[in-house]
């Protein structure tokens, strides 16, 4: 590649010939005080490493919801009153071999019930199982009501006492609640305390481990145990986080291997890994110092930082290798490489940082924290991999063999073959073909992306995989207990003397409930209005003809007083209308939201106000609304930022178009891929597009800047592109691979959204690379040819701040 007429490459010189006062002020500052810089970095590393050791893993649910959305504000305002949504765990104990009316089954159930009862954090008064005394049967008699615990007096496991148990359960109203519809399982309903008696907060991780312990001890023979509930999701998420830490080690291994295979220099590969890991330590230390935890989202940032660090580091190494291979002293090589690549690297890293920072506008805390963590991480890389690494390399150099090899490889046949192949795209025919293919693919992708849905599309807990143990347990509950895990809660604020029992409030709730039950996707509802209908039936000897909400305030007051808590708050100033859904797809949620909003608009009065939204589905509805708005906003902003950055770099709209169009194709295809993989736009996929575009533009920055510089100096597009490829092509290839490899390990995460992010990011990193290498020359043929192929005095006409064009001397 080293053409004799090129005045862009710095002549390889020995240390004695090198002018230490050459280069810009920053270079002189850094390289003339190498030791001080290294000591400083060591100190910072020690300090931040100490900080990082205090970092905690945390899976906070509150942070994943858009807290300033009015729905969420309503929810947070009434959180204390929403005991009906309670933080409870449901444990189904199933008898695979038959029904629950089996002495062995009942004995196992008793042991489990006793153990759970004694577990710290369990609200013992509220806990219910067939064995707790609060599970009672009720019968109507001529004199009134009679009842007792479902476990008969003197239960001894005999056929007779089991028959009595069955009769008691039949009149307990617990079939479909505590007892499965097909009587093959029963549930332990375990409400949890927010605080332990000693005042400490409930530890989901410990609780989840205790539950798993019970599961492992009792799940044998025919007995199977199924556990659902928010606390269990949290426990499983935290388990997943620990697992992801091991993925990080795997990523390090893979990325290191790629870099080593590329360089074949053990010493320098070690240095690149070290400086990238230092960046990770700094990043973790900084977020710890800023008071953040590692959550399932920000946990992924170290992977990105490491992979980006590796690709930039490898580039430095590549430069130094080539210079050493050409005979330069390692110190001189390091300085030349710094001189050549610092600005390009800085621009690329700044583009990344801007891409991440754009995410700050999204009003969801995990995304904002992800944005901060990622921006910090990339900023840190400027110090570790653009400054510290070349300084370290100036001490160690690279192995001579590897240096020689790098030059040989560069000019080797097979490598040149690929570059020549790619060079074809600078010519008219292939360029048109490539663009035609891209247009068709973009069209198809766009058509596919129109199917893109907002929200999470799979049943069960969206955080976890569909085939996870947890979601299998959710499916079990749905099958055997008709229980929906997607609850949409509507809060109804009531004022006035009768409060929540007010007929005017109840009749509105009653009517809305009936309307909602006619909507597709609504499985069931529950409210104090429905409870009134049921209790009135009960008060009239169970005769179903009394199934009505009657206009009789004293009767409503009487019924309300005896109704279970959860349907209204302690102060009787708020009712909750629970809507159980078949799924939490965006269409279903939108239908509910639209209907309730319309209803509230005409039926809210001074005394009765309908407010959205609580419950897992209600919060998801609010999140969907925020995510949907953020999706387009974020695309505009991240593209705006990248376009601006490209324009500043290239000072040419044509070059900006050449750089941006391949990115846009990738974005469209990523959306189509989401459709194909059944992923919706959700909190987890929002940052992916920003990251993909922000990091993806790096490739274009590298290739295009060299190409343009060369063209400016009179080379043809083809020659300039060839030049750019031989200079940066290898690095671009390697960057694409290291980034994709770095994030691809997420695919194995038990946390579904991490896996989704991994797939999407890996796709975007690789496709952006292909786009940059194929479409960039093709677009260049139409947009740059003639425009830039002119003699060397084109400074004024084109650009002047090409970061790669650090002139020699």
User: Per-residue b/e over 734-754, b at no fewer than 16 CB within 10 Å?
Assistant: bbbbbbbbbbbbbeebbbbbb
Q: Terminal CA-to-CA distance of the chain, rounded, Å?
A: 20
- Which x/- pattern over 207-236 shows residues binding another protein (rule: CB under 8 A)? ------------------------------
154: alpha, beta or left, given left = phi > 0 and alpha = psi -120 to 50?
A: left
Is 77 near another protein (CB under 8 A)?
no
Residue (209 or 603) nearer to another protein, CB: 603
Q: Is 601 in the site for another protein (CB under 8 A)?
A: yes
Number of Cβ within 10 Å of residue 523's Cβ equals 15
Residue 737 CA from chain centroid, whole number: 22
**450 near another protein (CB under 8 A):** no
Q: Does 544 sit near another protein (CB under 8 A)?
A: yes
Closest approach of another protein to the CB of residue 685, in Å: 29
By CB under 8 A, residue 548 contacts another protein: yes
Binding of another protein by 558 (CB under 8 A): no
> According to the binding rule CB under 8 A, does residue 546 interact with another protein?
yes
Q: Shortest gap between Cβ of 512 and another protein (angstroms)? A: 8
Q: What whole-number distance in Å separates Cα of residue 446 and Cα of residue 442?
A: 6
514 belongs to the binding site for another protein (CB under 8 A): yes
* Binding piece for another protein, criterion CB under 8 A, among 214-222, 520-528, 641-649, 731-739: 520-528
Smallest separation (angstroms) from another protein to the CB of 555: 8
- The least CB distance from residue 534 to another protein, in Å, is 10
CB of 594 to another protein, least distance (A): 7
- What x-and-dash track marks residues 722-751 binding another protein by CB under 8 A? ------------------------------
Min separation Cβ 600 and another protein, Å:
9
C-alpha span between 241 and 57 (Å, rounded): 7
Write down how long the chain is: 809
SS3 676: helix
Minimum distance from residue 158 beta carbon to another protein (Å): 21
Backbone angles phi, psi at 222, to 5 degrees: -90, -10
* From 216, 220, 540, 562, residue interacting with another protein (rule: CB under 8 A): 540
Shortest gap between Cβ of 220 and another protein (angstroms)? Answer: 31
# of chain residues touching another protein (CB under 8 A): 44
Between CA 40 and CA 105 the distance in angstroms is 67
Q: Which residues of 596-633 are buried (b: 16+ CB within 10 A; e: fewer)?
A: beebbeebeeebbbbbbbbbbbbbbbbbbbbbeebbee
**Among all chains, which residue has been given the structure tokens 């419950």?**
615
> Taking the complex as a whole, how short is the minimal distance between the CB of residue 516 and another protein, in angstroms?
9
Q: Which helix (H) or strand (E) holds 727?
A: none
582 binding another protein? (CB under 8 A): no
Q: d(Cα 118, Cα 523) in Å, to the nearest integer?
A: 35
Per CB under 8 A, does 542 bind another protein? yes
Q: Residues near 358 by Cβ (< 8 Å), separated by ≥ 6?
A: 371, 634, 637, 638, 641, 690, 694
Residue with tokens 């509230």: 600
Q: Does 14 bind another protein (CB under 8 A)?
A: no
Q: CB of 543: closest distance to another protein in angstroms?
A: 6
181/421 with CB nearer another protein: 181
Of 515, 557, 590, 726, which lies in the binding site for another protein, with binding defined by CB under 8 A? 515
Cα of 3 vs its chain's centroid, Å: 48
Query: Which of these segments, 324-332, 385-393, 487-495, 589-597, binds another protein (CB under 8 A)?
Result: 589-597
**Interface residues for another protein in 494-513 (CB under 8 A)?**
507-508, 510-512
Q: Does 368 bind another protein (CB under 8 A)?
A: no
CA distances from 582 to 27, 528, 579, 620 (A): 63, 22, 10, 14
For another protein, the binding residue among 551, 562, 653, 678 (CB under 8 A) is: 551
User: What are φ and ψ of residue 510, in 5° steps?
Assistant: -60, -45
Looking up tokens 């690297």 gives: 345
275/588 with CB nearer another protein: 588
**Residue 594, CA atoms < 13 Å, CB-side half-sphere:** 7
| Per-position x/- string for 146-185, each x denoting binding to another protein as judged by CB under 8 A, each - no binding | ------------------------x----x-----x----
The footprint of another protein (CB under 8 A) covers 139-142, 170, 175, 181, 507-508, 510-512, 514-515, 517-520, 522, 524, 533, 540-552, 555, 591, 594-596, 598-599, 601-603
């Amino acid at each position: 590649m080293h053409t004799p007429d090129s005045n862009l490459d710095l002549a390889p010189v020995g240390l004695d010939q090198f002018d230490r006062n050459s280069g810009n002020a920053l270079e002189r500052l850094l390289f003339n005080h190498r030791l001080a810089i290294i000591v400083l970095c060591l100190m910072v590393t020690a300090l931040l490493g100490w900080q990082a050791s205090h970092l905690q893993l945390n899976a906070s649910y509150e942070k994943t919801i858009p807290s300033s959305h009015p729905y969420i504000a309503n929810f947070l305002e009434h959180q204390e009153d929403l005991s009906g949504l309670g933080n409870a765990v449901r444990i189904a104990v199933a008898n695979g071999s038959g029904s629950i009316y089996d002495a062995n089954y009942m004995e196992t159930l008793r042991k489990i019930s006793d153990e759970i009862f004694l577990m710290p954090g369990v609200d013992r008064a509220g806990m219910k199982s067939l064995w707790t005394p609060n599970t009672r049967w009720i019968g109507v008699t001529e004199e009134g009501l009679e009842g007792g615990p479902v476990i008969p007096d003197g239960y001894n496991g005999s056929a007779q006492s089991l028959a009595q148990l069955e009769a008691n359960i039949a009149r307990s109203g617990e079939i479909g609640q505590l007892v499965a519809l097909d009587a093959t399982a029963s549930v332990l309903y375990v409400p949890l305390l927010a605080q332990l008696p000693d005042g400490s907060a409930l530890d989901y991780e410990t609780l989840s481990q205790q539950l798993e312990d019970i599961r492992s001890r009792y799940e044998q023979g025919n007995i199977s145990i199924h556990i659902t509930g928010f606390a269990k999701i949290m426990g499983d998420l935290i388990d997943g986080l620990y697992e992801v830490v091991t993925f990080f080690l795997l990523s390090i291994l893979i990325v290191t291997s790629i870099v080593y295979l590329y360089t074949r220099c053990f010493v320098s590969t070690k240095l690149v890994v070290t400086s990238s890991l230092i960046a990770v330590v700094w990043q973790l230390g900084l977020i710890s110092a800023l008071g953040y935890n590692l959550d399932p989202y920000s946990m992924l940032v170290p992977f990105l930082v490491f992979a980006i660090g590796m690709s930039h580091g490898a580039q430095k190494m590549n430069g130094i290798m080539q210079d050493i291979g050409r005979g330069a002293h390692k110190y001189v090589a390091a300085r030349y490489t710094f001189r050549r690549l610092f600005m390009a690297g800085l621009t690329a890293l700044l583009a990344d940082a801007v891409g991440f920072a754009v995410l700050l506008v999204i009003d969801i805390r995990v995304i904002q924290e992800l944005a901060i963590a990622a921006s910090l991480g990339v900023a840190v890389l400027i110090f570790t991999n653009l400054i510290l690494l070349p300084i370290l390399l100036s001490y160690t150099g690279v192995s001579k063999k590897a240096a020689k090899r790098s030059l040989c490889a560069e000019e080797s046949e097979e490598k040149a073959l690929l570059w020549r192949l790619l060079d074809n795209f600078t010519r008219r025919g292939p360029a048109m073909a490539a663009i035609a293919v891209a247009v068709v693919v973009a069209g198809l992708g766009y058509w596919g992306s129109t199917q893109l849905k907002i929200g999470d599309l799979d049943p069960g807990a969206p955080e976890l995989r569909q085939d996870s143990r947890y979601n299998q347990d959710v499916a079990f509950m749905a099958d055997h207990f008709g229980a929906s895990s997607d609850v949409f809660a509507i809060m109804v604020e009531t004022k006035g003397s009768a409060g929540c029992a007010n007929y005017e409030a109840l009749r509105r709730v009653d009517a809305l409930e009936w309307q909602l039950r006619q909507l597709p996707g609504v499985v069931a509802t529950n409210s104090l209005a429905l409870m009134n209908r049921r209790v009135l039936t009960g008060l009239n000897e169970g005769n179903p003809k009394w199934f009505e909400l009657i206009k009789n305030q004293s009767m409503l007051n009487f019924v309300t007083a005896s109704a279970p808590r959860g349907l209204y708050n302690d102060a009787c100033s708020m009712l909750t209308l629970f809507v159980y859904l078949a799924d939490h797809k965006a269409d279903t949620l939108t239908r509910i939201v639209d209907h309730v909003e319309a209803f509230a608009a005409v039926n809210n009065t001074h005394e009765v106000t309908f407010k959205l939204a609580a419950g897992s589905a209600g919060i998801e509805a609010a999140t969907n609304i925020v995510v949907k708005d953020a999706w387009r906003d974020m695309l505009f902003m991240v593209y705006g930022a990248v376009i601006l950055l490209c324009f500043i770099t290239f000072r040419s709209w044509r070059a900006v178009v050449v750089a941006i169009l391949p990115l846009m194709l990738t974005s469209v295809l990523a959306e189509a891929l989401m459709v194909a993989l059944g992923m919706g736009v959700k909190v987890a996929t929002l940052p992916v597009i920003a990251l993909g575009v922000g990091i993806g533009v790096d490739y274009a920055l590298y290739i295009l800047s060299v190409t343009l510089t060369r063209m400016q100096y009179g080379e043809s597009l083809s020659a300039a592109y060839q030049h750019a490829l031989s200079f940066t092509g290898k690095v671009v290839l390697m960057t694409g691979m290291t980034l994709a490899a770095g994030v691809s390990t997420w695919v194995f995460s038990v946390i579904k959204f991490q896996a989704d992010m991994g797939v999407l990011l890996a796709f975007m990193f690789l496709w952006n690379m292909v786009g940059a290498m194929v479409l960039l020359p093709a677009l260049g043929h139409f947009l740059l040819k003639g425009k830039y192929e002119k003699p060397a005095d084109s400074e004024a006409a084109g650009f002047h701040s090409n970061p790669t064009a650090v002139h020699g001397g």
